[in-house]
Chains A and B, each alone.
Chain A
């Protein structure tokens, strides 16, 4: 496992996402209300790019006829077959134990000696551990 600086935190404000290639691995990073989460950018079903899917909320029916909607923007829907994944865990909506995309550890940190272009030299950067 190594840490990779992939961009400046200010470039990915809340509600936005960043698609990056980390040492050959496709990763999508989401900012949910100031917290950063990373997922392997590949749907476990047929390989659709999750980074091209829309972010929706969690619609649930505790019982028929009763609906709730919350966690707006925290569920990503695959751009192909519409499989839904929880951005915080990578687990699928319909069968979280069996179907999931790999979560990737993301943190923000000041990185003084970063060589990467486009990273903040005076501020937080997004750092992926992979």
Chain B
């Protein structure tokens, strides 16, 4: 039998209140790589894709290292009625997500975009094709959506080429990396990327997951997906520590770093711990002129999905204030299974202006759109 579905009750509330939303983490997928990405990929790389697929630097060659919380990591109600993967149908995304939640700005963060592929030239070609695909299938058709410049970040020179190709293109609002890089992110091999982003005033978003080849936790390969999920907080702390202590923000003070989908409540304690150890090791780190937490407050933003869910909402108030309400960006992760509903997250109490900044204006200010 068929099961009748009606609109999510939460949706009516959202539309009724007209709360305008910026969603800083939306995941689009091609309906078909052959039909939608191949037109922007040289024949040589089409053949490579058909022969070898997207070979990542990880011990699991086919698919993700851990089973997801739901099939294809997707909400079970996010499959387009006309078929295809969740997130592959613009018309469905418009009604199912953008209209329903009054999303006025949506940032596209494509995964399986060529990032982390072992073959560096293929990684660069595939990233470029995915960027062209974002324009052709998404941003040129829906002005609420903005793209991410996917870069083959393990090769900084090729990444800079791709960033510079897109400078000034209003279809894109940020450069895009994944959190688990081959070397800690402050490593000098990645510096040209940071220089290019700072020079061109392009924020750099770093999203959870990635395929650097290292285990997903500091203690090795764990058994369960839940450990992969909470491991993103470790990875994000590693990258912030590395990038601050290597002096990246001292060299490029205008660099804007956005941590996407890795949590945020750990940021205060990371700042305290870094500051303490920094005070004790000034002789080794003369190039880090200020306490690490100051760079965090100056250069780092965080998207909030998956939101923290403490037993008492008030516990989040201090966290928000330490990080800064102006540094937190609302995100849903649509169409993925761990989606956050803007009406249902346990947001600390705040006045209307602060709420509006959290849900919309912080993103508009950061991205300049």
Contact = CB atoms under 8 A, between A and B. Distances in A.
Chains A and B come from one and the same complex: yes
Interface of A: 11-12, 16-21, 26, 42, 45-49, 51-54, 79-82
B71 to A, nearest CB: 10
Nearest to A43: B344
A69 to B, nearest CB: 18
Contacts, number: 62
A42 B8 CA distance: 8
B9 A26 contact: yes
B76 A79 contact: yes
Contacts of A48: 8, 75, 77
Contact of B10 (A16, A17, A47): A47
A16 B344 contact: no
* Interface SS of A by simple majority: loop
B246 interface: no
13 contacts: A11-B1, A19-B5, A42-B9, A46-B10, A46-B339, A49-B5, A51-B5, A52-B3, A79-B75, A80-B338, A81-B69, A81-B338, A82-B69
Given A47-B10, A81-B338, A82-B70, 20 more contacts: A11-B1, A12-B1, A19-B6, A46-B10, A46-B340, A46-B341, A46-B344, A48-B8, A49-B5, A49-B8, A49-B77, A52-B3, A52-B5, A52-B77, A54-B76, A79-B75, A79-B77, A80-B75, A80-B337, A82-B337
Nearest to B3: A19
A101 B75 CA distance: 19
Contacts of B6: 19, 21, 26
A6 to B, nearest CB: 11
Contacts of A54: 76
B69 A53 contact: no
B4 interface: yes
Contacts of B341: 46-47
Contacts of A45: 344
A42 B9 CA distance: 8
Contacts of A12: 1
A63 to B, nearest CB: 18
B230 to A, nearest CB: 15
Given A45-B344, A81-B338, A18 B70 contact: no
A61 to B, nearest CB: 14
Nearest to A42: B9
B94 to A, nearest CB: 19
Nearest to B306: A81
